[in-house]
Each structure stands twice: as structure tokens, then as C-alpha cells.
């Protein structure tokens, strides 16, 4: 690449925004819910009150959310916190919080 007009300066930074299109049907979850492993990425889903480790395939992401392209379906309940203390097959109790 030739830089004859000197618009590129060594050590300079650029902020780039790339639009990859929108998918309003994308299944997005918080990035902290994903458990990285050597070969897979997993999330802890709650199935009938029992913790279940589910292998997921990730798609696009931003700073706080990641797209799930396989392994979960819309309406699944996943854990976002307490991941290190939850064991597969463990009982999970979900409490609903209401604002008065």
C-alpha cells in the first residue's frame, strides 16, 4: 500500500464500525453466561428444575451479548450467575422477584 498523501500515520488508531446486518430473530444471551472449555462453549440451562450443561455454538457478539446459533431454543432458561458453584444434575430453584 502506498501512502503518498501521508493520511496514514504510524501508531495512529482508528475506530471502525462494521455493520453485519440485523437478525431480529437471533437468540442473544449475556456473554457471562457462556462457559468456555478447551473444545466447546457451554451454558447451564434449567430443565425441569435441574441444571443441564448444554454445548452451544456462538455467532456474532457485542460487548455484552452473544448470539446462540445452536444448542438452545427461544424460551430456554439459563443461569447467568453462580456458574462456578452449580453442578450438572443439581437442583435449581428459581425465585420470581416482583416490584410493588
The CATH number of whichever domain residue 50 belongs to comes to: 2.40.420.20
Q: Between the ranges 3-7, 41-45, 72-76, where is the mean pLDDT highest?
A: 41-45
Query: Does 41 fall in a domain?
Result: yes
Assigned domain for 22 exists: no
Which structural domain range is residue 68 located in? Answer: 27-78
pLDDT band at 11 (very low <50, low <70, confident <90, very high): confident
Number of domains in the chain: 1
Answer whether residue 100 is part of any domain: no
Instruction: Flag whether 6 is in a domain.
Output: no
* Cell digits of residue 64: 455484552
Q: What is the pTM of this model?
A: 0.72
Q: What average pLDDT does range 68-80 have in this prediction?
A: 93
Amino acid at each position: 500500500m502506498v501512502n503518498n498523501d501521508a493520511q496514514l500515520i504510524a501508531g495512529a488508531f482508528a475506530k471502525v464500525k462494521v455493520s453485519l446486518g440485523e437478525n431480529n430473530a437471533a437468540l442473544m444471551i449475556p456473554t457471562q453466561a457462556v462457559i468456555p472449555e478447551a473444545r466447546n462453549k457451554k451454558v447451564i440451562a434449567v430443565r425441569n428444575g435441574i441444571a443441564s450443561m448444554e454445548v452451544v455454538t456462538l455467532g456474532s457478539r457485542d460487548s455484552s451479548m452473544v448470539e446462540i446459533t445452536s444448542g438452545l431454543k427461544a424460551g430456554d432458561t439459563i443461569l447467568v450467575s453462580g456458574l462456578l458453584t452449580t453442578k450438572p444434575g443439581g437442583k435449581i430453584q428459581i425465585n420470581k422477584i416482583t416490584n410493588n
